[in-house]
Amino acid sequence: MLKGFFHVPEPVNEPILSYAPGSRERKLLQQALQTAMAQEADIPMYIGGREVRTDDRVSLHPPHRHKHLLGHYHRGSRKHITQAIDAALAAKSHWENLPWEQRAAVFLKAADLIAGPFRYKLNAATMLGQSKNAFQAEIDSACEIVDFLRFNVKYMAEIYAQQPPISPRGTWNRLEQRPLEGFVFALTPFNFTAIAGNLPTSAALMGNVVVWKPADTQIYSANVLMEVFREAGIPDGVINLIYVDGPTAGDVIFQHPDFAGIHFTGSTGVFQTIWKTIGENIQRYRSYPRIVGETGGKDFIVVHHSADPKAAATAIVRGAFEYQGQKCSAASRVYAPQSLWPALRELIVNDVRSFNVGPVEDFSNFINAVIDEKSFDKLAAYLDRAKQDADAEIIVGGTCDKTEGYYIQPTVIVAKRPDYVTMCEELFGPILTVYVYDDADWENTLQLIDQTSIYALTGAVIAQDRYAIDQATHALRHAAGNFYINDKCTGAVVGQQPFGGARGSGTNDKAGSMINLLRWVSPRTIKETFDPPTDYRYPFMDTE
């Protein structure tokens, strides 16, 4: 074992490339897209370092060109879940006993691989598999995952450096951060490749072994992530990637005595079911499992009458419609003052009408397809309802078409009631609902925002009046785990805005911070006495 107090490289946020016409990165990304479109990928599971293929092959298609075949993945069964758990547990001893700087080096290398030779391949996979435009892919599957990997190494070193401040003469007090006993289950979503990469690697970095199940609609880019991790030197069995249906995975994993924790991003309903299942099986486990989850949001932007209308409109359209509103942080409800609404309405409608909608290969398109037909049908049903509802008015958009791809036109609904269904329920698509309030009802509107939704993920206030900003910041302190002033409610950056919410939005363990990594270790206090007493008697017992 090497000897030394090692300092990790100081992380900085990965620069965002522009992909402007004529740029080198634009040419390389277009080449990566062409290469991926010309091939049919054969995507195995990865269990104990082995590529595992089955007779159950499932096709993968771009959401924006659902007739095009990207390839197939091999769906696993119950036995593959058990194999993945066994492989993880077999790898556990060697991995957790590996010096921390060696674990760090694996993930620092992975970051450099993504920032360099794998950047365009991973971005292209995200664009094609999840229908993200070039910019949305760049900030996700290049910059954010690189930031997660680099900053997490720094946070790990800081955690290990935290030691008891006092060791009285003759003693030495130490604190060890142990990996959890057992394995961690990472259950990851479709909408961010960075989240899919961070959930298994953050736990693995701290010495844990992982069984990773991505969303089916993210498997195409998950495969590239696994290629990166293997190239970076992740030992066999440390991260095991499986493609199985959720209920079967839960049935096996949540009954296993060595289940030590779950790292989850997904729907509130699924997370609540997971929590309930863990509780029902609590007597089975070697230790109490860590439950870390980031779930849904019904994220808000509240505009004060002092706001700059152009700044408000830009925050609204970017916050609501980037990546088709399929961010858990996306703005889906807006509260606009009556005095500014005419100007805001014109700006928003003009912006939305200017959007180009189409496939990701055409870089002029700002809006692409929603993730799959199930999502399309759900969103279309809400639009049909709004068209016929006297309490709603669609002022722009409202159409949809799934002939070539799952396209929902960006839509703005004006609700006549603050409790209208699209003001309250999470839709996860390019549908924004606005409620117009009387300027004099500012304080009541803040209470309304706080009480409308079960969620508390992100929110924003747009105002020039500092007293109004202070009021909103205080009144909405429990309504959003990430709160923005004069900005859109999306775009959290690792190392700058740790991300997560409370209430129905999750456990608020803040991805991209030390807070999250602390959930994947179990501290042990060690006290060493150099000259121990040899007589049990204390001075107070003397009789003279």
SS3 state of residue 43? strand
Residue pLDDT, tens place only, 482-499: 999 999 999 999 999 999
Amino acid at site 141? S
CA atoms within 13 A on the CB side of 222: 32
Positive or negative CA dihedral for 54, 182, 194, 236? negative
Tokens 């991300």 -> residue: 499
Residues 6+ apart with CB under 8 A from 116: none
Establish whether 328 is a catalytic residue: yes
> Cβ atoms within 10 A of the Cβ of 238, count?
26
Which ranges of 4-130 does DSSP label H, i.e. alpha helix? 24-38, 78-97, 100-115, 119-130
Mean pLDDT score across all residues of the chain: 97
- The mean pLDDT value for 44-52 works out to 98
- C-alpha distance from residue 255 to each of 90, 200, 284, 287 (Å): 19, 20, 7, 13
Alpha carbons 299 and 302: distance in angstroms, whole number = 10
Phi-psi region of 495 (alpha: psi -120 to 50; beta: other; left: phi over 0): left
Tokens 């995507």 -> residue: 43
1 has pLDDT over 90: no
Alpha carbons 472 and 458: distance in angstroms, whole number = 13
Alpha carbons 279 and 84: distance in angstroms, whole number = 23
Q: Which tokens belong to 10?
A: 């100081």
536 has pLDDT over 90: yes
Residue pLDDT, tens place only, 20-37: 999 999 999 999 999 999
- The mean pLDDT value for 55-71 works out to 98
Which segments of 190-269 are extended strands (E)? 209-214, 239-241, 259-265
Tokens 């486990």 -> residue: 285
Which segments of 237-380 are extended strands (E)? 239-241, 259-265, 290-294, 299-303, 331-337
Residue pLDDT, tens place only, 355-377: 999 999 999 999 999 999 999 99
Cβ contact 285:277 at 8 Å = no
337 has pLDDT over 90: yes
Choose among 372, 82, 72: nearest CA to 248. 82
pLDDT at position 2: 83
Residue pLDDT, tens place only, 514-531: 999 999 999 999 999 999
- C-alpha distance from residue 188 to each of 58, 195, 198, 201, 242 (Å): 19, 7, 9, 12, 12
Helix or strand (DSSP H, E) at 461: strand 458-462
pLDDT at position 487: 98
Residue pLDDT, tens place only, 105-155: 999 999 999 999 999 999 999 999 999 999 999 999 999 999 999 999 999
Query: Which one of the listed residues 138, 144, 294, 322 is annotated catalytic?
Result: 294
Query: Which one of the listed residues 138, 143, 322, 328 is annotated catalytic?
Result: 328
pLDDT at position 462: 98
543 has pLDDT over 90: no
52 has pLDDT over 90: yes
Residue pLDDT, tens place only, 409-463: 999 999 999 999 999 999 999 999 999 999 999 999 999 999 999 999 999 999 9
Alpha carbons 518 and 496: distance in angstroms, whole number = 18
Residue pLDDT, tens place only, 248-303: 999 999 999 999 999 999 999 999 999 999 999 999 999 999 999 999 999 999 99
171-205 CB burial, b ≥16 within 10 A, e <16: eeeeeebebbbbbbbbbbbbbbbbbbbbbbbbbbb
- The mean pLDDT value for 370-387 works out to 98
Q: What percent of the chain has pLDDT over 70?
A: 100
Confidence band for 311, pLDDT divided at 50, 70 and 90: very high
Q: What percent of the chain has pLDDT over 90?
A: 99
Residue pLDDT, tens place only, 166-182: 999 999 999 999 999 99
pLDDT at position 544: 72
Choose among 106, 43, 53: nearest CA to 73. 43
